[in-house]
Structure 1
């Protein structure tokens, strides 16, 4: 049994971020699968793990914590790689955090299942997709401005950072989950998406590689 337990759902982009980080850092972890579609996140036992009834949550070092940005920074502070996923230079580190937060607080919440299902109830499938496309590309295009300025092989420079761990699942969601044309709307991020798709840590973290993926 590993010292790290990750509460995960294959389709959760927030959990996807942490799977990438854990894999990149070479950390062993046990998966605790929570089926959001079946509303297992509202089970009484899981509510004791995460009072927001969300994934991800993680157990390590004798504590349980939630919120992907909090967990990502804790992993970096306690299990740092070389090169680090948060650069040592304060200015560069701020850019990495800015990109991650554009996704974390400015983009991903706008495509949460509960929200878009409610939009569909009120306005139909076309209204839902119009909302998703506008909301996702608003955030992704903002991130692309920064990647164009500061990117190299990866989102910020030539080393994998937390920015990549947050960007890739959102790009995957846009392209695969919603079938949006990322290449047309965000060509720079599309190239980054293709590069990251070949990284072993990303491949292993991808939804289709998870044991709770339908048909796995």
Structure 2
């Protein structure tokens, strides 16, 4: 299985970013000079620009804050890691987090809508380092890509095109209210170990749930 440690935003957080993302649009060049840039390069300078293609937002099945990626592991190894993390988590504090803005991220195959996080981001970084430390003691192969306090929650298609990077030019986006959107606070009280299916946009599969320390 492809194993990850994640934080799961609650439904009201996901609903909020999806609603805010409705303000995202393909940017239209403001004048003839700007028409030579971005999406305007699809058309001749000075020509009447045709209507822009529709932008469709496709929600991700299970949006999550990816804390650590462990790579491909066996069921026994995943169980062993879960036990080690649960033992160490007695010293890891729960986090208060909230969304502080939405951006568009381009990958090799798609455009993603990503929510940036505020709140206890220092604790989130500390959690990232602590999980890595435990995993090393269990002799796990670690994906050392840098952790980011953010989560992708939707992909975007343009005019029904499943792979927008195949267009003649990469569009520029107007984020509108999404850029400064502030979401509701949530208390992240669990670190989840999940198996990531190979099928695109398939739901994550729970492996174990590790409680974090709360003040209750």
Higher share in helix: 1
Given the two structures, how large is their TM-score scaled by the length of structure 2? 0.28
Structure-1-length-normalised TM-score: 0.28
Higher strand share: 2
Larger Rg: 2
Kindly indicate whether structure 1 or structure 2 has the higher relative contact order, using CA contacts under 8 Å at least 6 residues apart.
Answer: 2
